[in-house]
Amino acid sequence: MTTSGNPPTGFYSALAQETAAAERDVSATNPGPKNRALMALNPNADCPPPTDHGVVEPFWYSFDLTHRRIQDGGWTHQVTSRELPVSKDIAGVNMRLTRGSFRELHWHLADEWAIMLSGRARVTVFTPDGALFVDDVGEGDLWLFPAGAPHSIQALGEDGCEFLLVFNQGDFSEESTLLLSDWLKHTPPDILEKNFGLDAEAIARLPKGEPLYIFPAAEPSNTLDEDIAEVARHAAPPKVSYTFKASTMTPTRESASGSVKVIDSRNFPASQKIASAIVTVKPGCIRELHWHPNGSEWQYWIKGRGRMTVFPGQEAARTMDFSSNDVGFVPNMAGHYIENTGDEDLVFLELFVAAEFHDISLNRWMRALPEQVVMAHTQLTAEEIRQIPTGHHPLLP
């Protein structure tokens, strides 16, 4: 007789053996047409582990599948809710600028969080209280431009720069930002003369035709300090920093299995609506089983290869493989892990529409409970439960 509510001893192992056997026999064969290149990139989607079950909305997409808008001075492409419908709160834009080129002066309906993937840039942002912030950012550094605050980005150095932009608006479109050149083009010339106090000849030289958007220019002749001194003559000093030097930040958590850098409103006050973590996982290691109680997770995979299983409940689970330049998504409250399946460090971003980063560790929860409670739910012995890692170890061997 079995205990009421519990399956018979050995039930789970028998089920696993049965489904694993099906994976290896004729049941899993696929003699029909197939995209072998795509199957090779995502073997866990082609032949899922026996623990996968039910229907889970797609949570993988790649920037490499999107249209890349190329202009003189750089390019851009995006992954929004149009490409990844499950991501209703966050959209991402990947952009490159060549040496000296600008992402023209503009503003957005959403907050803009960014990480510099390579190279350097000089950024400016003007705030409603009349302050103008100027700073240089390098690889691994962040910025946050609040919704409605006009800003610019100019590439520095021979190789220019590439960066990821994240917006707290799933249906955001980089094509629909409010551009300075677009506004001026659609304002009557006589109004521009009155507004700027300039004559008709000067107004006639303003850009015509397509908006500038991305365009080449000479690198700034001023040093950063000289630019800061110049803008201080016309604008108030900023009250907060709109950049964050994550490249030199001491990791929030670090072990032989990798590191986690958490950046949110507590250490980056300008970022009141977007919380983030930069995660590095060593080969063969995992980002432990966990979930987030305060928002869905939008991911950008910077380096390496890995796999993730998402468990949204209701007996459903799905496993997908990820590579650099891919986007992942975990629905609010869904359990998941990330495993490094490659032979180099795996580096990815976790982004949330939230003021603070929060996660709940399955290990920490189980170790915090009375042992008898865990034994009743898992059939583990007390000795086995004590082998589960305690403390806060988000990355495990």
- The pLDDT of residue 41 is 87
Q: Is 290 annotated as a binding residue?
A: yes
Q: Which residue in 153, 162, 145, 159 sits closest to 102, CA to CA?
A: 153
Specify the pLDDT at position 189.
Answer: 97
What class has domain 66-244? mainly beta
> Which sequence positions are flagged as catalytic?
350
For residue range 250-297, list pLDDT tens digits in order. 999 999 999 999 999 999 999 999 999 999 999 999 999 999 999 999
DSSP string, 230-297: HHTTTSBPPSS-SEE-GGGPPPSEEETTEEEEEESTTT-TT-SS-EEEEEEE-TT-EEEEEE-TTS-E
250-357 and 66-244 share a CATH fold: yes
Residue 234 phi, psi (nearest 5): -125, -10
Is 112 annotated to bind a ligand? Reply is yes
332 in Cβ contact with 295 (< 8 Å): yes
Q: Residues in the chain with pLDDT < 50?
A: 1-9, 11-12
Ramachandran quadrant class, 78 (left: phi over 0; alpha: psi -120 to 50; beta: rest):
beta
108 is in an annotated binding site: yes
The answer on whether 297 is annotated among ligand-binding residues is yes
pTM greater than 0.75? yes
Residue 336 annotated as binding? Answer: yes
**pLDDT for res 29:** 83
Residue type, 343: D
Contact 331, 90 (CB under 8 A): no
Residues above pLDDT 90, as percent of the chain: 86
* 253-263 tens-digit pLDDT: 999 999 999 99
Cα separation, 298 vs 351, whole angstroms: 5
Class of domain 250-357 (CATH, top level): mainly beta
Instruction: Name the residue ranges covered by the structural domains of the chain.
Output: 66-244, 250-357
